[in-house]
Amino acid sequence: MSLQAKQVRVLVLNDMEQLGRTLFRLDQGFELQFRLGPTLQGKHVLVHTNYPAPGKHFDRHTFQALDWHNPMGREDDSDKFCTLDLQIAGSYQYYFGHGHEEKSGGGYIVVDPVLRAGADNHHVHLDCITIQTYLSKCLGHLDDWPARLRVAKESGYNMIHFTPLQTLGISRSCYSLADQLSLNPEFSPPGKNYTWTEVGELVQKLKKEWNMICITDVVYNHTAANSPWIKEHPECGYNLVNSPHLRSAWVLDRAIWHMTCNMADAKYAAMGLPAQVQNEGILGRAKPDQKKTGGKQGLKIIQDPKFRRFGNKVDMDSALETFVPHSRSPQAILEACNWLWGRLEEINKEQYQQMLHHQEQAANCIVGNVVYERLADHGPKLGPVTRKDPIVTRYFTFPFEEKSLEDDLPMMDQPDKARHFLAHNGWVMGDDPLRNFAEPGSNVYIRRELICWGDSVKLRYGNKPEDCPYLWAHMQKYTEITAKHFAGVRLDNCHSTPLHVAEYMLDVARVLRPSLYVVAELFTGSEDLDNVFVTKLGITSLIREAMSAGDSHEEGRLVYRYGGEPVGAFVQPSLRPLVPSIAHAMFLDVTHDNECPIQLRSAYDSLPSSAIVSMACCCSGSTRGYDEMVPHQISVVKEERFYPKWNPEAKASSPGEVNLKTGIIAGKLALNKMHQELASKGFNQVYVDQVDEDIVAVTRHCPSTHQSVVAVCRTAFHNPKHHQYRTEVPPMFIPGKIEEVILEARIIDRQAGTYKKCEKYINGMPEYTVEIKEHIQLKDSGVVKHAGVTSKGSSEFVQEIIFERLTPGSVIAFRVSLDPKAQELVGVIRHHLIQFSPKYKPGSLPDQHTPTILETPLAQIMSKLTLGDMNMLLFRCDSEEQEDGGGCYNIPSWTSFKYGGLQGLLSVMADIRPKNDLGHPVCDNLREGDWMIDYVSNRLVCHSGALGEVGKWLKAMFHYLKHIPRYLIPCYFDAILVGAYTTALDTTFNKMSSFVQNGSTFVKLLALGSVQMGGVGSFPALPPLSLELPDIPYRLNKDTGKKEQCCVSLAAGLPHFSSGIFRSWGRDTFIALRGLMLVTGRHLEARNIILAFAGTLRHGLIPNLLGEGICARFNCRDAVWWWLQCIQDYCTLVPEGIAILRCPVVRMYPHDDSEPQSLLTQPLCDVIHEAMTRHMQGIDFRERNAGPKIDMHMKDEGFNIVAKVHRDTGFVYGGNRFNCGTWMDKMGESDKARNKGMPATPRDGSAVEIVGLSKSAVRWLVELHKKGLFPHSSMKIHRDGKEVKVSYEEWNHKILANFEKNFYVSHDEKDPNEKHPDLVHKRGIYKDSHGASSPWCDYQLRPNFCIAMVVAPELFTVERAWKALGMAEKKLLGPLGMKTLDPDDMVYCGVYDNALDNDNYNVARGFNYHQGPEWLWPIGYFLRAKLYFAKKLGKETYEQTVYLVKSILSQHYVHLERSSWKGLPELTNENGQYCPFSCESQAWSISTVLEVLHDI
């Protein structure tokens, strides 16, 4: 099997989510899956991408729609995905839409290139790159390049960056190119004419023989001002013909130029403005008035397209609309004209004020420029103003004879001349990089805000190739030449290059070189803006610089920032969410166009800062000259000397040659080798320790072998000769065993003369070199004084390092392994984890003394577990655990886990793991001791059977875990638990129905609710079953040692209704049983629960609170009907399920007054018949022990229980206004509000869902009797003193005939069936009840009629049902649940607060429990009803409804996925808000949602 599982990343799409500024990086070979977020589930979503289809070429503007896959069926969209197999590097766009919205969201993905080198074409990982920059013009003739480039090879670099190799412009700047297509002729010696072919051959030689990759710059934003082609094609730049908005800026530029000439000629000297500017005072200027004039709307001015003076026009249509004479008299017309004239003057004043602001800014910028260039200490101090060094750089070319300003101005209107006045390029401090500062709307040129490059012309591409054909074609050829010969490009001036141009050119380059490496340095000042460039252009690496750090602490922070995971990071799954990235860094000690570090810091800092950079888990590098300790910036413009060549025998005093003794080259070689080794061998975990203000220790760690490399670097930002550094260096404590000192090096002085700038070669400082030792034992170190081994607990050994010669400018790097015993134990753990994933094979070691329990795969052990065992293994909340004398694990400084089982831990780890949050209290607890580890195994070991075996397996694994270094324990503890947990889930689902096994993730998550709620506590919750039944589970009572039944029971909700007598409730159990037991395939447990409750039948009722049958309360009218519905569902859904009717039932109460017993056994069918008969006869009794002993809040009348069948309608009715016999059972508790003992929702009379459930039961029994499967056709009762028979057929017919007459609220205001038309406030709905003691309660809109629709749809007219459901959707549907009362009702209150006790009758002590809060379980019946009746209305309506259902249920999926309880709550407050008084996970909430998916 492969050691590397295919890496899959999942991008969840959310409606209206635009992620164009979010960076998603992926490697080639990854699979990207798009999945639907909750806002899109249930909608027809189309995902488009310009990633090319197989066999097609990439075209940025060609998008393909991706096909959706739904591997688990169609019941929901949780697993629906479309996929991309990413095999081609580049930037790719995706967008998605639904309905009429083609693009309702989108973004970009960047696929990194694969770089290769060497004769074997081996893969060079991006983090392996060590790059060195060369100014190409300093390499001399091409024949000399190998000797000069060998310096990079011998210094350990594997990538060379060349500045442009093209013919340079007149300024000699490396980035001002005269001809983008021709090779610089300076590279050809006399008598030769080298071309790109020879350059390509050299690049290939470097790649194959030296293992070196070559990249070069591309410059798209400008060309040299003396480029021959720009003179022939001036339309390629911004000139006064194609960009007339620059005319005024050109006039100002010419005026400043003539001022320069006059200053140079001393014409202003007498006025106090000499050519030599000596102080800022002589630059005094008059500042214009700052007053502003407010604008007015109405009149429109049409801008002259040629921007001529007095060229603008008045839009006469707006003038005629705005300045309307009040009459046609000459006087009125004159007044209107004067009004217009006055407005024009105002506009002119506004323009004048704006011009003054531009003028002041221009003056400020000019003065600032002069101060920097001529006065500032850090500036170039240019000296007197001359034509060569003007007062400021010119903004425009002027290729004509110099005359006066007066002679210049007419040229603006001469197109043949004006087209050659081309705007120079530059950059604008703080400007929006996405805006082209030369386009109309920008005032950069007139305000003189451009820091101008006077040697280069800014190129004007337009929006597409047709706008400037020559320029696009020229640059395309340039790009093709570059891509043909070089593995990558650096985008010069990227932030100012028009994005669409760079996109186009890079697309061209990737046609020739698909794995193009793209580098850029951005100066946007914003990571958000950086991402725009990175995502759209597919930039591989962004250049970052250590010189940006002001101190060693910041330098260390940059190492941590730019790559790697924390040491001890968690093992991530191969399929996981796609998370935003930061751009991959090319982290350089210094870039080639920035100031020299020696000038800003000290020469001694060169080595330690380089070492810090080299330890970063990203690409690293430098510029030629840094390693040779050149003490000045090598100017890209002015430098004309050559780089020295490589000569191993060269003397230090030889300026034209270098070797390992030059500067820090020997140190850099060792660092580069180490950097490449760390990346290639997977040392991708990073820890940065700021030892003191100058010392930074960087650790790189390999998560498979657990080897580390620790580099201790003592920086020298200040020269040690002039700065007082600490004499004492703090000791370091390095965990593990130091195998060797990889290197120790420091910069030392030597007697080789002092630096003198060579005229021919770029030479460094000969007075410094590096003293270095490599691959030595610790005892041979000259830096470490003492190394002692100490024990940090029984499982971790630490070496204490005391330094004696870690001087400023020093570096020492240790190779560290785990203690041999710990290394062995980690290997053994990894060996046993291979059964869960092959990714643990690297670093694994066979177990020489494998405990017997570990010889058996965990999956085999778990296969023997029952689903009841799984409840113990995975779940059980605190109150369940306390029944066994324990509790959920608690971290004192934090909180308790939600469950004692694995889910409690895994819910927390699911948040910790993706973030690698090793500082979390859970991780702290694991590092500090073995308490949590022991808790997990000890909790299970004490059990017999397979559950105890699982505990022993965990205990054996944890034995190894306890003896590895503590910093690794969170990682491996999580790995063990994840393996055990996933195995448990697989086993669980394999024991469930095919619907679950083949179901979606959502289905499986809901099905887990069956395990979560279905368990066996310390005390049996269910009464005993008949011994005649097969397959009854037994156990030995731990106290008595006797055999006892241990049937699974269902908890009503967690955590409040999970243990003791409050665990099992008749109503809750049978509302939940169909979804949690029957749909999931747990038929035996369902049978046992049905029969156990059947045994408790009394008065013809099933208990509400079961209380093990002995403490049962028979105070609800609906539980028996839910029980009957479950029996019907059992017979329907379970193969041969009808056999349950013949199963024996042990009657705990053979008569109403019986004490609990187990003498009488009856078949279930007879128990059913008794329940039906008792209702038909009429149930009327008083609860036993009535009074505060069983209910401290209820009034005396409330203990009187009535449940009968109406003789005329067949409706079951009962209850009174002092009790609440349905699920809406809140009893008032507040003395203060005077609601104590009053039910909030008595729902006496005939509750709509009970009528529906009874109709379902009666219809079913009629059908069974006809098939000969139910022995009873009628019920014998006493009526009016006589025994009479009432047939089930008759009862069934009566309900059917009377339902809509009595429950439907017609749109007909004169409906003769309507008894209380004055109480009607909504029409087209179904009443909540019929015959309530408070008639207005009948007319309240509640969600209960949906239940009747599902269980007895025959009661409803399709069209009426559909409209009623529409009203429920409009008024009652919430994000997760259904409002329990119409928000238009006067007593509606959607926020449940059971702790609030005030004088408000309607809300005190949670009186509004069912008067508005949004309960989840009814939503299942609402959606099932929608689906049923939608199907009756035709295919189109049904499909629309399916999408609605999926969209609604997506909220439940998200909640379930995110919930630490892995459940759905009992209820929410209004609009889905969290309710702290709700059960966090409720059985019937999970069940009814699962039933919806089953229906779909």
**Which residues are marked as active site?**
492, 495, 593
Is cis: bond before 1055, omega within 30 of 0?
Answer: yes
Cβ burial of 1068 (10 Å; 0-12, 13-18, 19+) is buried
What is each CA distance from 1314 to 977, 1223, 1320, in whole angstroms? 63, 27, 9
What is each CA distance from 1012 to 19, 984, 1009, 1067, in whole angstroms? 38, 13, 5, 18
Residue given tokens 């002001």 in the structure block: 550
Q: Do 787 and 800 touch, CB atoms closer than 8 A?
A: yes
Local structure of 627: helix, strand or coil: coil
| Calpha distance 1232→1397 (Å, rounded) | 7
From the CB of residue 1446, how many other CB atoms can be counted at a distance below 10 Å? 27
| Calpha distance 474→492 (Å, rounded) | 17
Q: Work out the end-to-end distance of the chain between its first and last CA atoms, rounded to an integer number of angstroms.
A: 38
Type of residue numbered 1433: L
Q: What is the token pair recorded at 1007?
A: 């099905």
931-937 contacts, C-beta under 8 A, 24 or more apart = 931/889, 932/889, 932/905, 932/973, 933/958, 933/961, 933/962, 933/969, 933/973, 934/958, 935/889, 936/902, 936/905, 936/977
| Calpha distance 1328→1347 (Å, rounded) | 11
Collect all residues with Cβ–Cβ distance below 8 Å to 1312 and sequence separation of at least 6: none
What's CA 360's distance to the chain center, in Å? Answer: 48
C-alpha dihedral (1060, 1062, 1063, 1066), degrees to nearest 10: 140
What is each CA distance from 1444 to 76, 1434, 1449, in whole angstroms? 11, 16, 9
Type of residue numbered 809: G
Collect all residues with Cβ–Cβ distance below 8 Å to 207 and sequence separation of at least 6: 117, 118, 213, 214, 487
| Calpha distance 1403→1470 (Å, rounded) | 14
Collect all residues with Cβ–Cβ distance below 8 Å to 849 and sequence separation of at least 6: none
What's CA 551's distance to the chain center, in Å? Answer: 33
In order, the DSSP letters of 132-167 are EEE-GGGS-SGGGHHHHHHHHHHTT--EEEEPP-EE
| Calpha distance 804→827 (Å, rounded) | 36
From the CB of residue 210, how many other CB atoms can be counted at a distance below 10 Å? 20
Local structure of 1307: helix, strand or coil: coil
Q: What angle do CA 1053, 1056, 1058 make, to 5 degrees?
A: 60
Q: Do 1049 and 1060 touch, CB atoms closer than 8 A?
A: no
Type of residue numbered 1262: V
Question: Residue 656's closest CA among 138, 133, 152, 174?
Answer: 138
What is each CA distance from 1376 to 38, 516, 1340, in whole angstroms? 12, 49, 21
Q: Do 1175 and 1203 touch, CB atoms closer than 8 A?
A: yes
